[in-house]
């Protein structure tokens, strides 16, 4: 579960809350130095202060809006200029939008696509070559159980997570025998700020479904990363759902997801 080297550095995006924050504690607990990225400078500095005192590691914080196309290159250039080596890349940052596609805001969805797909791909493109050159490194991408089927009322979000799953599986295959592994974590509904940001607190998905704790989801992903697993789905119910979808007609699956996504009766 843990690396034999504790002088390595892990870069974590979306590190200020939810699964990302829980991952910071897991890496810090195993002695990893950290580069933490999120939009809030104050939250990152608070987290860095706690982790450095408790675990005696070094933590660099970079406040960036990763929905901006320029951010990945700016991060990479800053770390290069300061001599950082990134041994583990965690692409955790992401968000969703909720509602009929006809009615949702275009700019919000463009920002989501940039963050969930393009930024993840761009950061991987920048940091992967050095990992391969060292014949050592790990990448953890956070997808979702949304990746396994279409998602009416969150059409673009579900499609973005399908991209993350497909990209990660393909990349893992390409990197066989290079010393670099790729793991994609697919959580189901998780206790975090995701549902509030997506304005879907009242959907059946979060009202009527079991919600996993972010720390448990992070722990599952962390173990899978160090066990070199390619795809990991958190929770046995989520695993069963993802498996059963393969055998159901697509139009039926889409109808079921639409029903689950709708607002619960008040």
User: What token pair was written down for 240?
Assistant: 């069963």
Q: Which residues contact 139 (CB under 8 A, 6 or more apart)?
A: 88, 89, 90, 91, 124, 128, 131, 168, 171, 180, 181, 182, 183
pLDDT tens, 84-107?
A: 999 999 999 999 999 999 999 999
> Is 157 annotated in the active site?
yes
* Average pLDDT of span 232-240: 89
Which one of 21, 32, 98, 157 is the catalytic residue? 157
Q: At what angle do helices 18-29 and 41-55 cross, to 10 degrees?
A: 20
- Which residues on neighbouring strands pair with residue 196, listed in sequence order? none
pLDDT tens, 130-170?
A: 999 999 999 999 999 999 999 999 999 999 999 999 999 99
Q: Where are the beta strands (DSSP E) in the chain?
A: 9-13, 33-38, 59-63, 88-91, 137-142, 180-186, 190-191, 212-213, 231-233
> What is the model's pLDDT at position 2?
42
> Is 207 annotated in the active site?
no
Report all structural domains of the chain as residue ranges with CATH numbers, in order of start: 9-261 (3.40.50.720)
Which one of 25, 64, 161, 222 is the catalytic residue? 161
């Amino acid at each position: 579960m843990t690396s034999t080297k504790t002088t390595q550095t892990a870069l974590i995006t979306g590190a200020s809350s939810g699964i990302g924050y829980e991952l910071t504690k897991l890496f810090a607990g195993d002695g990893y130095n950290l580069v933490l990225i999120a939009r809030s400078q104050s939250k990152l500095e608070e987290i860095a202060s706690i982790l450095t005192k408790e675990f005696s590691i070094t933590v660099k914080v970079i406040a960036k809006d990763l929905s901006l196309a320029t951010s990945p290159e700016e991060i990479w250039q800053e770390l290069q200029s300061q001599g950082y080596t990134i041994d583990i890349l965690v692409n955790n940052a992401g968000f969703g939008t909720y509602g009929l596609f006809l009615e949702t805001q275009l700019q919000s969805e463009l920002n989501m696509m940039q963050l969930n797909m393009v930024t993840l791909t761009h950061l991987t493109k920048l940091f992967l070559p050095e990992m391969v050159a060292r014949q050592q490194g790990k990448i953890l991408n956070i997808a979702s159980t949304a990746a396994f089927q279409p998602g009416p009322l969150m059409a673009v979000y579900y499609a973005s997570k399908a991209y993350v799953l497909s990209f990660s599986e393909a990349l893992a295959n390409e990197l066989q025998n290079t010393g670099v592994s790729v793991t994609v974590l697919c959580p189901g509904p998780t206790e975090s700020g995701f549902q509030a940001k997506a304005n879907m607190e009242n959907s059946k998905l979060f009202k009527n479904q079991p919600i996993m704790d972010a720390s448990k989801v992070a722990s599952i992903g962390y173990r899978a990363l160090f066990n070199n697993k390619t795809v990991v789905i958190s929770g046995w119910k989520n695993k069963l759902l993802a498996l059963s979808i393969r055998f159901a007609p697509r139009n039926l699956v889409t109808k079921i997801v639409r029903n689950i996504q709708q607002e619960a009766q008040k």
